[in-house]
Structure 1
Amino acid sequence: MRTRTIGSGESTRQVSAVCLGAMPFGTTVGEEESFAILDRFVAAGGTFIDTANNYAFWAPGGRGGESEALLGRWLAARDYPEVVLATKVGAQPTVPGAGLEAAQGLAGDTVRAAARASRERLGVERVDLLYTHIEDRSVALEETLSALADLVDEGVVGLLGASNHAAWRLERARAVAAASGRPGYSVLQYRYSYLQPRYDVPFPEGGHVHASPELLDFAKVHGLPVLVYSSLLSGAYTRPDKPLSPPYDHPGTQARLAALDEVAKETGATRNQVVTAWLLGHDPQVLPLVGASSVSQLDEVLDAVELELTADQRVRLDAAR
């Protein structure tokens, strides 16, 4: 498994270049299959696992916290000291049956309480990476960042991350942290894949924010790793029963899919594998965050880690419009 570096200084961590998303574990993916997927990931050299305190409140019977709780049971049954766990706070609905309109938000006391609850469900004394899952513009950035920095100072959180924030908010947060001399965001997480959406058409998936060229440039300038979710578009690259989301309905999509199929034929790989290889060689650097509901789905991605695209193949993939 290839590795990547996240964080800096004493907080630097080496993680697998592919991060396993645990979103469906404990709801749409049962415990036995979830454990098998997690075990296979670690056996293949995977060390980076991602969840959130609201996964998966929208699933049948879900209320949020199911994924963290399952990971806690898995960790208790295993001994994997090298696993790096990331979770997120801020987007858990406070009203049963509600959505992000009732999200818990990022007030200081809320962040502290949510982080404590996540640690309890995960069964850990320290979360390796804690993201603010969504923005909360009703709360001053200074308040949120102070609460997060307190958690780092207390040793119960390692690194801080931001997911689905506007680029200008990230710059402001960077300035606030620098002025106070306290920890700030050092990892980012956004939606991103080979197919590029129209930015004037919103995603139907609530809260999703796509990594724009501006965001990726900001990350590159400041040396911030970007975890990219929905990297395989929830199966839409390969499954006829999984239609593309409306923002991808534009002429450039067909041009990109044609280039993708051309390279897949040349390499003998699947579309998903070519997309994963493209992401692993991306400039600026990104780390694909992939989900799997079966071991076979995970194996398809793991087989792509060693797929090397030629310079010519990358040029053709990048140039398709």
Structure 2
Amino acid sequence: MRYRTIGTGPHSRRVSVIALGAMLFGSVTDERTAFALLDRYVEAGGNFIDTSDNYAFWTDGGQGGQSEELLGRWRRSRGAGDDLVFATKLGARPLAPGTSYIDNPEGLSAKVIRESSERSRDRLGLERLDLLYAHIDDPAVPQRETVEAFAALVAEGTVGLLGVSNQAVWRVERARALAAAAGLPGYEVLQYQHSYLRPRSDVPEDLFPDGSLGHVGAELATYLRAEPGLTLVAYSPLLRGAYAHPGRLPHDYDHPGTPARLAVLREVARETGATPGQVALAWQFGHELPVVPLVGVSSLTQLEENLAAVDLELSPEQRARMDAAH
């Protein structure tokens, strides 16, 4: 396994270059399978596990919490220590069963941040959350209130690093500027969808059908270059299996640039003897920007394929060819 450092200062952590997503653990992925996946991931040197307080509310019409609860049971049964880094999120948990984060989210008020983080710590069985994200934006709450509430948890020692997911880049920068001006800890880890293939910028993302987020790919890359202390955790790096099954490509990837990039990806896969998905992950591992792909798996076969990508080295020529395809 290879590792990189996320965050700065006393709460920075050394994490594996591939993170394991636990979104469906405890719901779609049963406990026995989830435990086996976690055991194998840790055995291979992985130590960066991602979840959220709302996973997976949509599977049973509830409010979520199944993933955190399962991870807590696994931690206790294995006697897991501080060498593992657990990341969770808040803000997008439905306030009532049968609703969703789109029409009824818990939001990012100071009250929610405190109470939701406490519930997450209880479910995970942790005295401190290593990394806590604002899962979605909450324009109804003043950003200063959100910034100060997250910072208070860090000051109390119940949270280490702060992160943000699925917010417009200008909103992220505003929150970070507010924190810096007040001498408070701010967001240091960003979690967005990112993969080798690029989506169209004029089609709303499936997760945000109202278009409130939009496409932030180029803007986000520019921001990461300007702020070297930030790390991007890239969710859906394999586009939900689309590299192995092109028919699964989301509709916003249906544009002339996709076939060209897929063709080069497959060329490099043949040259290296790897799968297209492994090449896509290796492209992220060696990216000029600090990217940690976050993989979601439901079987040991999928996990092994993803873990094998850690040792795949792309040549400068192969990487340049992949970057140039459009």
Shorter-chain TM band: over 0.9
Give the whole-Å Cα distance in 2 for the aligned partners of 1:255 and 1:219: 26
**Alignment partner of 1:270 is 2:275:** yes
User: What residue number does 2:235 align with?
Assistant: 229
Question: Alignment partner of 2:294: what SS?
Answer: strand
| Alignment partner, residue 291 of structure 2 | 286
Q: CA deviation at 1:192?
A: 0.5
Q: Please say if residues 61 and 99 of structure 2, whose CA atoms lie closer than 8 Å, have aligned partners that are also in contact.
A: no
Asked if the contact 1:6–1:225 (Cα under 8 Å) also holds between the matched residues in 2, the reply is yes
| Counterpart Cα distance in 2 of 1:132 and 1:209 | 18
1:226 counterpart SS class:
strand
Partner of 1:31: 31
Secondary structure, aligned partner of 2:185: coil
Contact 2:238-2:277 at 8 Å conserved across structures? yes
- Give the TM-score normalised by structure 2: 0.95
Task: Give a deviation string over 1:198-241, Cα, whole Å, max 9, x none.
Answer: 0110122348765512112212321200000010001111025x
Once structures 1 and 2 are overlaid, which stretch shifts more, 127-136 or 75-84? 75-84
Moved over 4 A (4+): 207-211
1:58 aligns to what SS in structure 2?
A: helix
Q: Which residue is 1:297 aligned to?
A: 302
Greater displacement, 94-103 / 31-40: 94-103
Q: How does 1:1-321 map to 2 (within 5 A)?
A: 1-60=1-60, 63-81=63-81, 82-100=83-101, 101-206=103-208, 211-223=216-228, 224-239=230-245, 243-321=248-326
Does the 8 Å contact 1:190/1:210 carry over to 2? no
Structure 2 distance, partners of 1:304, 1:143, is: 41
- Note if contact 1:190-1:209 (Cα within 8 Å) is conserved in structure 2: no
The gaps in structure 1 that reach 5 residues or longer are: none
For residues 246 and 263 of structure 1, what CA distance do their matches in structure 2 show? Answer: 25
Contact 1:191–1:211 (8 Å) recurs in 2: no
CA-to-partner distance for each residue in 1:94-153, whole Å, 9 max, x for gaps?
A: 121111211100011011100001011101111000000000000011000111011001
3-state DSSP class of the match of 2:157? Answer: coil
Q: Structure 2 stretches of 5 or more lacking a match? A: none
2:204–2:215 contact (8 Å) kept in structure 1? no
Q: Which moved more, 1:32-41 or 1:3-12?
A: 3-12
TM-score, length-normalised on structure 1?
0.97
Aligned-pair identity in percent equals: 55
- The CA RMSD over aligned residues, in Å, is 1.3
1:61 to partner: Cα distance: 5.6
1-side partners of 2:61 and 2:176: how far apart? Answer: 39
Q: Secondary structure at the match of 1:305?
A: helix
* Partner SS, residue 293 of structure 2: strand
1:62 positional shift: 5.0
Partners of 2:286 and 2:125 lie apart in 1 by: 35
1:315 Cα offset (Å): 1.0
Contact kept in structure 2, 1:111 and 1:148, CA below 8 Å: yes
**CA distance in 2: counterparts of 1:299 and 1:28, whole angstroms:** 20
**Rounded Cα–Cα distance in structure 2 between residues aligned with 1:257 and 1:220:** 26
Counterpart of 2:127 in structure 1: which amino acid?
Answer: E
